[in-house]
Amino acid sequence: MVAFSKILIANRGEIACRIIRTAHDMGFETVAVFSDADRDAPHVQQASEAVAIGPAAASDSYLKIDTIIAAAKTSGADAIHPGYGFLSENANFAAACQKENITFIGPSPSAISLMGNKAEAKRRMIEAGVPCVPGYEGEDQSDALFIQAADAIEYPVMVKAAAGGGGRGMRLVNKAEKLEKALSAARSEAQNAFGSDELILEKAVIEPRHIEIQIFADMHGNVVHLGERDCSIQRRHQKVIEEAPSPAVSASLRSQMGAAAVAAAKAIQYSGAGTVEFLLSQDGSFYFLEMNTRLQVEHPVTECITGFDLVEWQLRVARQEKLPVDQNEIHLSGHAIEARLYAEDPYKSFLPKVGTLLKWEAASGPDRRTDHGLKNGYEVTPHYDAMIAKVIAWGQTREDARQKLIHALQNTVDLGLVTNRQFLINCLKHENFAAGAATTAFIDTYFPKKVLKRPEPTSRDLLLAACLHFDCRKHQQGLSTDGWDSSDALWAPVRLNIADKIQDFEIKQIDECALLIKSENQEYSAQFSTSADGHATLACEGHQTSARFAFSQGTLFLQTPNCQFSSNEITLATGESEAGAGDGRILAPMNGRLLHMLAEPGQSVTKGQTVAILEAMKMEHEITSKIDGTVKSIAAKADEQVATRALLLEIEPVEA
């Protein structure tokens, strides 16, 4: 038995938190590592102790082998869990741990490096009798040999980088005339991306499903599989939705694929958690693609249908225990689906988006699970992967799981960030997915750019936004709803900027909760209320709308059941507003950055004189004095971010 007691987690975010949870449950101490960007991150707070490992860039911190090993030594950690990504499939890192007598929680360096090369892996898998796509994976890399091999297996063919993964350096070639050009392009791409221009060739499988088998091996020769995961819903080789079991895999196909995956692991004396990826063709045949020698992002769906804790198994195997069960003790129960929440904008080419998570609430409820490393105020930076959380639901049937996951995503609060949450809901609701028929072509087929439209707020959503701004303004002006009196019963204009569109409202407070709202020549009578934890409800014409909200520097972030949007109040920018007009208090007409403060204390100013310049909504706005007078005080300085109605300066009127 290899004893270890303190585990360093060489990772961050949700997977670091996931590993810490099981490690603590089992009685281990944990050490987090963190870059400058992650000082206050939840994984750091959750670990028993934490070590700083350098600048924000991953190449300067989470990818630095020597620094991570040094962190283990200074903290006395005697084992390292690499998580996924970063150093998890780096054979040199596994070897460095071994050399320092630190238990690497993963397979041997030789298994990692063997599976890191597709040509070598494929030759070994063919030897072991694992079905592989017909192709060429020889050492002779001459064009002549590739041309001959392609003719023999017949077009279309795939050219792949031997050192590659995740689709980089991959080319689909439909006819012989195009092969040579594809070979040279793939070689240069592979050389640039992986430092090796070695290629392999395969017959192309058209519109396959991505099916992977979770395997587990101990150091005593026992290997089991835990069924498959269907990861067909991907975008540019980035997984989006995963599920277990696959709607396309029968019990008999499962046992065939499971046996092939177990044979693959045995052939290389594998130990620990591994995933054997297969392509499942439309005709039901399956082919080995590659083997991932780590715990995968989507492991929770397997945990949900087997009831096992895969991190616990990893730790047991690493201390040389036998696998806790035999193959015949593994039973799959129900169905689980995982959706990956990314900080990205699906309506802008899925570009990653940085920002501050103002309010985070993971969905709760029976059979829901959210794996994350988030908290209120969490900053999404450009340094790491855009995936911020995984939302998982289990159900007796696939349909139960699908419905619960949609509900969970609708009840996940991610205010302040732009995420793919609504896109995930739309994917899960799509009839092709609901029917269990989705292949790797799902997103390109059903969600091409032209059908990806940002959900627009409904008119009720807009009324709610107007009420929230109105309410916020009252609080800013020190008027509490409790202290309401009839003098408030005036129509107040509320002008909002929502997605660069101007929306005008007028609101009159009738009593503590009742409001009259005018919008687009209609008058509504509404009951409006908010709670301290950011719930808002609006009952209007017999229909109640609920939403979650947060204000940050005057910007309102609103999440309604059908969309998410932000809005800014610009009522003062009209210059005809009630507040701040008559007196010498000059307020910011909208959220923005103060470019210049042109006035100084004691200076005399005349009505109409420009006293400050505000940059907002991509324009410069001159702020002018409404009166003749003397500058009494300055309340904001250049470069400062100011919120709507923030005091900029105060002018003492000259006596008439």
Position 190 contacts ligand MV4 (CB under 6 A): no
State which residue, 156 or 352, has the beta carbon closest to ligand MV4.
156
Structural element, H or E, at residue 507? strand 501-509
Neighbours of 558 (CB within 10 A): 24
| Least distance (Å) between residue 387 CB and ligand MV4 | 17
Tell me which of 42, 208, 227, 300 binds ligand MV4, using CB under 6 A.
Answer: 208
Residue 204: both structure tokens together: 């192309």
State which residue, 91 or 158, has the beta carbon closest to ligand MV4.
158
| Least distance (Å) between residue 166 CB and ligand MV4 | 6
Structural element, H or E, at residue 573? none
State which residue, 279 or 357, has the beta carbon closest to ligand MV4.
279
Structural element, H or E, at residue 441? none
Tell me which of 69, 119, 133, 276 binds ligand MV4, using CB under 6 A.
Answer: 133
Tell me which of 440, 555, 559, 625 binds ligand MV4, using CB under 6 A.
Answer: 440
| Least distance (Å) between residue 495 CB and ligand MV4 | 47
Interacting residues of 555 by C-beta distance below 8 A, sequence separation 6+: 566, 567, 568, 591, 643
Binding window for ligand MV4 (CB under 6 A); candidates: 107-115, 205-213, 215-223, 466-474: 205-213
Tell me which of 47, 149, 205, 572 binds ligand MV4, using CB under 6 A.
Answer: 205
Interacting residues of 338 by C-beta distance below 8 A, sequence separation 6+: 241, 242, 243, 298, 300, 301, 390, 391, 392, 405
Burial of 168 (0-12, 13-18, 19+ CB in 10 A): middle
- At CA 288, angle to CA 287 and CA 290, rounded to 5? 145
Position 614 contacts ligand MV4 (CB under 6 A): no
For residue 508, the cross-strand partners are 516
Rounded to whole angstroms, the Cα distance separating 191 from 179 reads: 18
| Least distance (Å) between residue 424 CB and ligand MV4 | 18
Position 234 contacts ligand MV4 (CB under 6 A): yes
Position 122 contacts ligand MV4 (CB under 6 A): no
Residue pair 231/97 in contact by the 8 Å Cβ criterion: no
Position 9 contacts ligand MV4 (CB under 6 A): no
Position 212 contacts ligand MV4 (CB under 6 A): no
Tell me which of 204, 291, 332, 605 binds ligand MV4, using CB under 6 A.
Answer: 204
For residue 593, the cross-strand partners are 615, 641
State which residue, 132 or 265, has the beta carbon closest to ligand MV4.
132
Position 237 contacts ligand MV4 (CB under 6 A): yes
| Least distance (Å) between residue 155 CB and ligand MV4 | 12
| Least distance (Å) between residue 209 CB and ligand MV4 | 8
Burial of 400 (0-12, 13-18, 19+ CB in 10 A): middle
Classify 103 as helix, strand or coil.
strand
Interacting residues of 444 by C-beta distance below 8 A, sequence separation 6+: none
Position 261 contacts ligand MV4 (CB under 6 A): no
Position 439 contacts ligand MV4 (CB under 6 A): no
Position 495 contacts ligand MV4 (CB under 6 A): no
DSSP labels, 520-559:
TTEEEEEEEEE-TTSEEEEEETTEEEEEEEEEETTEEEEE
DSSP labels, 355-410:
EEE-EEE---STTEEEEE---TTEEE-TTS-SEEEEEEEEESSHHHHHHHHHHHHH
147 to 9, 141, 157, 181, 602: CA distances (angstroms): 47, 11, 11, 11, 84
Interaction pattern, residues 160-189, with ligand MV4; x per rule: CB under 6 A? ------xx--x-------------------
Tell me which of 130, 158, 182, 262 binds ligand MV4, using CB under 6 A.
Answer: 158
Return the DSSP state at 198.
-
Position 115 contacts ligand MV4 (CB under 6 A): no
Neighbours of 262 (CB within 10 A): 22
| Least distance (Å) between residue 440 CB and ligand MV4 | 4
State which residue, 208 or 592, has the beta carbon closest to ligand MV4.
208
Interaction pattern, residues 346-375, with ligand MV4; x per rule: CB under 6 A? ------------------------------
User: Is there a catalytic annotation at residue 294?
Assistant: yes
Binding window for ligand MV4 (CB under 6 A); candidates: 202-210, 265-273, 367-375, 582-590: 202-210
Residues 209, 294, 548, 645: which is the catalytic one?
A: 294
- Helix 179-194 with 143-153: angle, nearest 10 deg: 120
Number of residues counted as binding ligand MV4 (CB under 6 A):
17
Position 63 contacts ligand MV4 (CB under 6 A): no
Residue 601: both structure tokens together: 């204390």
Footprint of ligand MV4 on residues 275-294 (CB under 6 A)? 279, 289-290
SS3 assignment for 242-265:
EEECCCCCCHHHHHHHHHHHHHHH
Nearest to 341 by CA among 380, 367, 309: 380
Binding window for ligand MV4 (CB under 6 A); candidates: 111-119, 201-209, 367-375, 601-609: 201-209
Binding window for ligand MV4 (CB under 6 A); candidates: 136-144, 204-212, 493-501, 600-608: 204-212
Binding window for ligand MV4 (CB under 6 A); candidates: 196-204, 300-308, 559-567, 589-597: 196-204
Nearest to 58 by CA among 365, 383, 334: 383
Position 569 contacts ligand MV4 (CB under 6 A): no
Position 210 contacts ligand MV4 (CB under 6 A): yes
Interacting residue ranges for ligand MV4, rule: CB under 6 A: 133, 158, 166-167, 170, 202-205, 208, 210, 234, 237, 279, 289-290, 440
Catalytic residue positions, numbered: 294
